[in-house]
Amino acid sequence: MTDQEKKSERNVPVERETSIECPVCSSKLFLVYYTTEISYEREIYIQSYVCHNCLYKESEIFQLNTGEPIRVTMNVQSPEDLGILLYRSPSTTVLIPEIAAEIYPGENSEGGIVSIEGLLDNIRERFNTMIQDFEGDQEELKKIFRFFDAIDKKEEESFTLILEDKSGKCRINSSKALIDRLSTLES
Ligand SMILES: [Zn+2]
pLDDT tens string, the chain, 187 residues long: the values are 445 444 445 567 888 898 889 999 999 999 988 887 766 656 778 888 999 999 999 887 777 767 789 999 999 998 999 999 998 888 899 999 999 899 888 766 667 888 999 999 989 988 888 777 777 788 888 889 899 999 989 888 899 999 999 888 888 988 889 888 887 544 4
Cα(28) to ligand 1 centroid in Å equals 8
Inter-CA distances, 81 with 4, 111, 117, Å: 19, 20, 9
pTM: predicted TM-score of the whole model, two decimal places: 0.70
Cα(143) to ligand 1 centroid in Å equals 41
Q: For residue 86, count CB atoms less than 10 angstroms from its CB and return exposed for 0-12, middle for 13-18, buried for 19 or more.
A: buried
